[in-house]
Structure 1
């Protein structure tokens, strides 16, 4: 009996790879440092309801990803989201001309990765700190000093800086991952007791500290008992304010939101902030995935392609394809 394949990370890239490998008859074992799956597609449960603090929606261009979305839709995991979409530019709101289809998980973004994970063997709250190879097999060590293994191959599906640290057994791959610059994003959620009197449901922002604001409750399947909004700060503002206390971040971004939304904005009855250190790659790449087939180690993620949800899914698929070529 051959050893299973280890997959580090249960975001959309890791789960895409896992399913491609399972479909080919391989055995996988997953690890994640978080309490649940999703990575930046995770949703935060709060007193204001379930909040999508990371990926707000996703789009699709590749036929393979479109086919996957159709299956997810048939299974009830996703629905199309068609918000009243605006842009804010030169101090004014105007309807956005961007009409491409947008998809969201239902009843929360994390529904997709939860469903994909299903009953796959996974160890959560397990931060893998070292990946090393013995004579025949791979072993993983976690932050508690515990070893996991043996594994026939290792597939790393984490943000590039974290992947670089785990690729020390393959210095060329480690250097490639380390060269990928990733940008941070401060996300803030606000809840209001009464619905804001604005036609805006989503808005791309071209100036100031924010790049995006959206009504969370207007997405399909949501059932929040208050009017919840999610704000994303720009990469530059987030970088400059990366270590600011959350209270200051909330206050500043709430002020920017109130100025732009085009209606009276009362004080929120609920607020939280979340810092994504590795929200998106600085620029798209065409790596597909990273691999050293002789060693049996692979890496994937949105940073290997477009930086989008679709890119993460396709990168996982590509990593699995390359791995299966060498079995």
Structure 2
């Protein structure tokens, strides 16, 4: 009996690979350090409802991904988001001419990964700290010292720094992953009892601690009685204030928001800050996926391509293609 394939990470990349391998008839076992799927598409339950603090939307440009998004649309997993989109530069708001089609998960971004996961076997709240190979098979060990295996192959679908730490058995793959710089982002959610008097649903921002903001209720399928906004700080500001107290982050980004939004902004009734340590790669790559097929060790993630949701999905498909090709 062939040993199953281990996949570490249940973000879009890991689940894309898992779906492709499962469809090919292979047995898989998923692991994730979090309590649920999604990675940077995970949603957070709060007293003001479930919030998307990571990816706010995604686009589809590659024909393969366009086709799969249409399948997601038909299944009710996603909807098109058509916001009143603006740019802000030097404190001046201007309507954006951008006509890019944008998609969101319904009713939250993590609905996509939950649907992709389906009934696939997964261990959540399990942080894998070591990946090691015996004579013929792979084994994993978690932070509590528990071992898992044997596995025929291992797919690591994690941000580059976390992947690097698991690649001791493949120095060339570890070196490639270690060469990738991942940038952080502070995310803040602010809720107001009364709707703010602005037409802005989303805004790209320059010359500010912020580089993005969005109105949660403008996105399809969202509910909630409060007017909730999600703010993303720029990578530069986030790096400079990486260890800032969360309350101070909320206060600073609230001030930046009030300067940008172009209307009166009362004190929020709710505020929350979350630090994404590995929010996005600093540069795009063209690897698709990393592989040592002879060893049976594979790596995928958005950082192997564009750094976008589409890149994560394509990377997962590529890692599955490489693995299946070697098994033939």
Q: Shorter-chain-normalised TM-score: which range?
A: over 0.9
Structure 1 residues 81-160: aligned runs within 5 Å: 81-160=81-160
Aligned partner of 1:30 in structure 2 is 30
In the TM superposition, what whole-angstrom CA distance separates every residue of 1:26-75 from its partner, at most 9, and x where no partner exists? 11100000000000001111111111100010001111101110111111
Supply the distance in 2 between the matched residues of 1:287 and 1:62 (Cα, whole angstroms). Answer: 16
Q: 2:91·2:259 contact (CA, 8 Å) conserved in 1?
A: no
> How many Å apart are 1:275 and its aligned residue?
0.1
Instruction: Tell me the distance in 2 between the aligned counterparts of 1:178 and 1:300.
Output: 14
Q: Show the 5 A alignment for 1:119-268.
A: 119-268=119-268
- Any stretches of 5+ residues in structure 1 without a counterpart? none
Give the aligned partner of residue 44 of structure 2: 44
1:21 alignment partner in structure 2 = 21
Q: Distance in 2 between matches of 1:98 and 1:47?
A: 34
Hey, what does 2:289 align to over in structure 1?
289
- SS at structure 1 position matched to 2:189: strand
* Deviation (angstroms), 1:273: 0.3
| Alpha-carbon separation, structure 1, partners of 2:283 and 2:133 | 32
1:322 to partner: Cα distance: 0.2
Deviations 1:76-108 (Å, cap 9, x if unpaired)? Answer: 010000000000012200001111100000000
**Partners in 1 of 2:78 and 2:181 — Cα distance?**
31
Once residues 51 and 84 of structure 1 are traced to their aligned partners in structure 2, the CA distance between those partners, rounded to angstroms, is 20
State how far apart, in whole Å, the 2-side matches of 1:208 and 1:19 are: 40
Cα offset for 1:295?
0.1
Contact 1:50 1:224 in 2 (8 A): no
Please say if residues 49 and 225 of structure 1, whose CA atoms lie closer than 8 Å, have aligned partners that are also in contact. no
TM-score when normalising by structure 2: 0.99
In structure 2, list runs of 5 or more residues that go unmatched.
none
Shift of 1:169: 0.3
* Equivalence for 1:76: 76
Q: Distance in 2 between matches of 1:2 and 1:299?
A: 21
Distance 2:82 2:49 in 1: 21
How far apart in 2 are the matches of 1:141 and 1:230?
A: 36
Aligned residues: 327
1:64 aligns to what?
64
- Report how far residue 151 of structure 1 moved: 0.3
- Contact (CA 8 Å) 2:170, 2:292: kept in 1 or not? yes
Does the residue aligned with 1:93 lie in a helix, a strand or coil? strand
Distance apart, 1:167 and its partner CA: 0.6
Following the alignment from structure 2 to structure 1, what is the Cα–Cα distance between the partners of residues 314 and 98?
24
User: What is residue 55 of structure 1 aligned with on the other side?
Assistant: 55
**TM-score, normalised on structure 1?**
0.99
